[in-house]
Structure 1
Amino acid sequence: MDLLIAFAALSGFLLIGTLLRAKVKFLQSLFLPASVIGGFVGLLLGPVILGDHAILPIPQDWITIYALIPGILIVPVVASVPFGVKFKSRLEKKSEQAKMNAEVEKKKKSNASRNVLIMFAILVIISQGQNVIGLSLTYLLSKLGMISDVYATFGTEVAAGFSGGHGTAGVVGSLLQSMNQPYWNTAQGVTVTTATVGLIGGILIGIVMINFAARKGYTQFLSGPGSFPQDMKQGYQSDVEKQKASGKETMLGSSIDTLTFHFALILGGSGVAYALLMLVKKLNVPIIASIPIWAYAIIVMYFIWWVMCQLNLSWIVDRQTTSKISSMFTDFAVVAAIVSMPVKAVLSYIVPITIMMVVVGGFTLLASYWLCKKYYGDFWFERSVAVFGTNAGVFITGLMLLKMVDPEYKSPALTDYSIGYSINSVLAFIMFPLTFGLLVSQGTVTGLALVSGVVLAAIILLVVLNKANLKSSVQ
């Protein structure tokens, strides 16, 4: 019952956030999600900030539960990722072989793959470059005596918050908790802080970028920030005729509800991942036993989804439905992470965090602008504003900024951006446990060497692509 009431309170914060987003113009201009708004309502009015004078007397047991929720809910969130990946069955491969052979020459003449690789390399350089800067500043400030008693992974939170968003705070907390690191909640709270600053700053600076580009004539479809419809600002669609369906009914209610089936599939896969992790730990398998549960979840679900595709059962899963379930978990994870944020611990690192956010923010802005301008021809600014948005806030931030300069998505920027982002997300899931493992066991220098190597590899990829002998123009 305590767990039920604790979630009911989180639901109340989400509804309050939804109401405030719908009514407060300032919040609409920032495009803050209801989960972020509601989370800060609970934080500012609860015992974490006000102590015994809290307006909302949230029990400490609930705060403890809320701190754990992001690390738990991130498991089904990542478990839903594989659904929608196109694994063709043997029958599909045979039937499409002739068509593929006929289109080989046409595909060779296309620059689409090159553009996606360029986008992927740029995203890697910026997201991992943020890690390089954060860890380098941690090392430098420590040597100068400006900071002391920092935990092993300090410096990674800016990149996690900027390029990962609030949802990544749960990944950070879960990963460190699985490594038995006592500072996991502090690192989770710091990531929430940087994600909030990045989200707001990404939107505001992005709008400044767009206005600057419009005056310089860099944009080709600009309609301006004012082109956003009111329903997008308010966060709801009141016109019944324009309301979209949430997904397809792949199952019949006489057997099982479609939402129940998808929910069970995701949680079932998460359960298999947990069982696999327990088996690995029981067998004391080195290295693998320290990998967090969400990493097992995404591997297990990729395998399950591949088997389903080979059995021609891909029709049974609706990607839009799994995406809605993932979004639901993310909303609860974000509001829980903010309500339980250890403010005192975060404030003790406020000076180095602020320095890092300013430096990393400047790097993100300049790198997004310069790299896209150098390596793309037409529509370079449309791509740059999308890159900046996603590396300062989240994918949706980049999508919103792109919509400002390309309202109907007529440019190829959306395709390059979405595919490149997806590939980079896979790399990020691999880099997280590797980087954190090295930082915890070997120290800052070794972890810094790893992310620096990845950035160098991405730079080499960009140089190779730039020198490739392609006659067709880049679009």
Structure 2
Amino acid sequence: MTPSEIGFAILYLGVFLLLGKIIRVKVKVLQNLFLPSSIIGGFIALLLGPQVLGKLMNLFVPDDHFLTSGIMTETIVNVWAELPGLMINVVFASLFLGAVIPKLEQIWKYGGPQLAFGWAIGWGQYVIGLLLVIFILTPFFDIPPIAGALIEVAFEGGHGTAAGMASTFEELGFAEAFDLAIGLATVGVLSGVIFGIILINWAVRRNHTKVIEDVEDFSDLRKRGVMEYQNREPAAQMTTRPESIEPLSFHLALVMIAILIGWLILQGLIALEAVTIANWTGSSFMEYIPLFPVAMLGGIILQVFFSKKDKYNLVDRRMINRIQGLALDILILAAIGTVSLDVIGEYLVPFLLLAITGIAWNLFGFIYLAPRIIPEYWFERGIGDFGQSMGVTATGLLLMRVVDPDNESPAFEAFGYKQLVYEPFLGGGFVTALSVPFIAQFGAVPGLILAAAMVAVGITSGLFYFGKEKHKKAA
């Protein structure tokens, strides 16, 4: 594989990103679903690649014909397959760079109820998955116990986390879990948006929303994904002078350094384990941990340094957001475009069981737990956590923007505070990264006991601590 071939494969990303955007602008159904262009482009790439168009062409042309790969050459597919695992490090290293870390009291007051709710939902996905593994997937389909982690990895973690765990799945002897996780992540995003819109319509009719009265008030431009002219604002600030260093280059360098710090920390942990636990027990654990959650820790360390030493306020959060958004678009498009349909077909019944039970748990949690745990604006705040539990943070933010377009409720503030505590653990954090090797080493039953205990912590604190505040205000 030459540098030119790698470069051409990256150029192809632009073609499908733009194609996805054009289709989003033109197709009404996709506008109403608010589907990101990266997901649309990824599906188009999948259809025009070797797994769909290539197999169809194979019926009419010889095996050595170039059309047997569709319009995606083998080199392009191979390059794209590696991109998600790289881009997820950029996404997670950027999570806290440029963000103001508030006082603990503020986090607890506004983010506490949603942390309890999200904690219960996130750990509950492990409970559901592990129950499936213990009683159905392993006995009847001979699927390894680590499949019990796939709902949380795919739904809460999304395409990025699923891609980041690919090497872990492979090292633990179940490489097919990557394709299943990518497929589940796609189902999660789609069902998150679809069920989210359905729930919003239901809530408006039942007077559960306090901000909006009609979900049909969105402009045509907004549905097409085009920013209204009067609402346009700078995408980022110029915090450095270009003749010194281009602002984008400066911020990209910070993200790279955060990833490097994470890599050094991970290598140190692996080396420490080798001379301690691994040396004493003969088993290792840290080598299965992917880089992305530790890259997030690298970003936090770098942000703490800049918060104390940067008197010029050089780190612009909006610029970091643009870098993070680009990495996420590339990640999603490449992951969907290279997912193995053969693997999903081979494991179709387990795949459907994981998807259906995961969706059912999230819907139950939102409808039953959210109004009992979150003291005020329960729907506006809870819908964000529901969206995240189905299809990562971006889906949650999208649904919150639908029910609170002008930020009139405390939903965005509370969600942001909750993320500061939640993200380092679930949804792609350390718990997500550690869960797969933990289940592989200790088994599904210990994993189930731990997950059930964590669900109990979330539900108990939510109902009997934060829920009491709700009843006090009602009285």
Give the TM-score normalised by the residue count of structure 2.
0.86
Match of 1:388 in 2: 386
Match of 1:78 in 2: 92
1:38 correspondence with 2:48: no
The letter of the residue matching 1:151 is P
**After the TM superposition, which of the residue ranges 124-133 and 156-165 deviates more from structure 2?**
156-165
Q: Verify the 8 A CA contact 1:153 1:436 in the aligned structure 2.
A: yes
Match of 1:21 in 2: 24
Secondary structure of the equivalent of 1:222? coil
**After the TM superposition, which of the residue ranges 253-262 and 135-144 deviates more from structure 2?**
135-144
**Aligned counterpart in structure 2 of residue 224 of structure 1, from 214, 230, 250:** 214
Q: Verify the 8 A CA contact 1:162 1:195 in the aligned structure 2.
A: yes
Match of 2:337 in 1: 339
1:267 correspondence with 2:256: yes
Cα pair distance change 1:129/1:299, threshold 3 Å: same
Cα pair distance change 1:357/1:290, threshold 3 Å: closer
Spell out the pairing of 1:378-457 with structure 2 (5 A cutoff). 378-428=376-426, 429-457=429-457
Structure 2: distance between partners of 1:199 and 1:467:
29
**Aligned counterpart in structure 2 of residue 154 of structure 1, from 126, 129, 147:** 147
**After the TM superposition, which of the residue ranges 14-23 and 159-168 deviates more from structure 2?**
159-168
Tell me the alpha carbon deviations over residues 28-60 of structure 1, each in whole angstroms, 9 at most, x when there is no partner. Answer: 111111111111111111102233525733222
Deviation, structure 1 residue 237: 2.9
1:201 correspondence with 2:191: yes
Cα pair distance change 1:253/1:441, threshold 3 Å: same
1:120 correspondence with 2:109: no
Deviation, structure 1 residue 349: 1.4
Match of 2:234 in 1: 245
Cα pair distance change 1:299/1:422, threshold 3 Å: closer
The CA RMSD measured in Å over matched residues stands at 2.8
Q: Verify the 8 A CA contact 1:369 1:384 in the aligned structure 2.
A: no
Structure 1: distance between partners of 2:389 and 2:194:
14
**Aligned counterpart in structure 2 of residue 3 of structure 1, from 6, 11, 20:** 6
Deviation, structure 1 residue 269: 2.7
Q: Verify the 8 A CA contact 2:93 2:299 in the aligned structure 1.
A: yes
**Aligned counterpart in structure 2 of residue 181 of structure 1, from 144, 147, 172:** 172
1:364 correspondence with 2:343: no
Spell out the pairing of 1:77-96 with structure 2 (5 A cutoff). 77-86=91-100
Deviation, structure 1 residue 182: 4.6
Deviation, structure 1 residue 452: 2.1
Tell me the alpha carbon deviations over residues 275-308 of structure 1, each in whole angstroms, 9 at most, x when there is no partner. Answer: 4544555663544444322233222232222222
Match of 2:296 in 1: 298
Secondary structure of the equivalent of 1:221? coil
Structure 2: distance between partners of 1:214 and 1:470:
21
**After the TM superposition, which of the residue ranges 334-343 and 287-296 deviates more from structure 2?**
287-296
Secondary structure of the equivalent of 2:146? coil
Q: Verify the 8 A CA contact 1:387 1:398 in the aligned structure 2.
A: yes
Cα pair distance change 1:467/1:264, threshold 3 Å: closer
Deviation, structure 1 residue 183: 3.3
**After the TM superposition, which of the residue ranges 383-392 and 68-77 deviates more from structure 2?**
383-392
Structure 1: distance between partners of 2:271 and 2:116:
39
Match of 1:462 in 2: 462
Secondary structure of the equivalent of 1:86? coil
The letter of the residue matching 1:205 is F
Tell me the alpha carbon deviations over residues 241-271 of structure 1, each in whole angstroms, 9 at most, x when there is no partner. Answer: 5322111111101111000011112113323
Q: Verify the 8 A CA contact 2:130 2:444 in the aligned structure 1.
A: yes
Secondary structure of the equivalent of 1:153? helix
Match of 1:97 in 2: none
Cα pair distance change 1:274/1:345, threshold 3 Å: same
1:317 correspondence with 2:303: no
Where structure 2 has 5 or more consecutive residues not aligned to the other structure, the ranges are 58-67, 279-284
Q: Verify the 8 A CA contact 2:94 2:320 in the aligned structure 1.
A: yes
Q: Verify the 8 A CA contact 2:164 2:290 in the aligned structure 1.
A: no
Q: Verify the 8 A CA contact 1:77 1:329 in the aligned structure 2.
A: yes
**Aligned counterpart in structure 1 of residue 130 of structure 2, from 135, 151, 155:** 135
Structure 2: distance between partners of 1:182 and 1:271:
28
Deviation, structure 1 residue 466: 4.3
Structure 2: distance between partners of 1:321 and 1:232:
22
Question: How many corresponding residue pairs?
Answer: 450
Deviation, structure 1 residue 71: 1.0
Structure 1: distance between partners of 2:338 and 2:356:
25
Structure 2: distance between partners of 1:171 and 1:406:
32
Structure 2: distance between partners of 1:322 and 1:423:
20
Deviation, structure 1 residue 140: 0.9
Cα pair distance change 1:214/1:310, threshold 3 Å: closer
Secondary structure of the equivalent of 1:315? coil
Structure 2: distance between partners of 1:411 and 1:467:
19
The letter of the residue matching 2:235 is S
Deviation, structure 1 residue 69: 1.3
Structure 2: distance between partners of 1:202 and 1:469:
29
Structure 2: distance between partners of 1:367 and 1:300:
33
Structure 1: distance between partners of 2:399 and 2:265:
41
Give the TM-score normalised by the residue count of structure 1.
0.86
Match of 1:215 in 2: 205
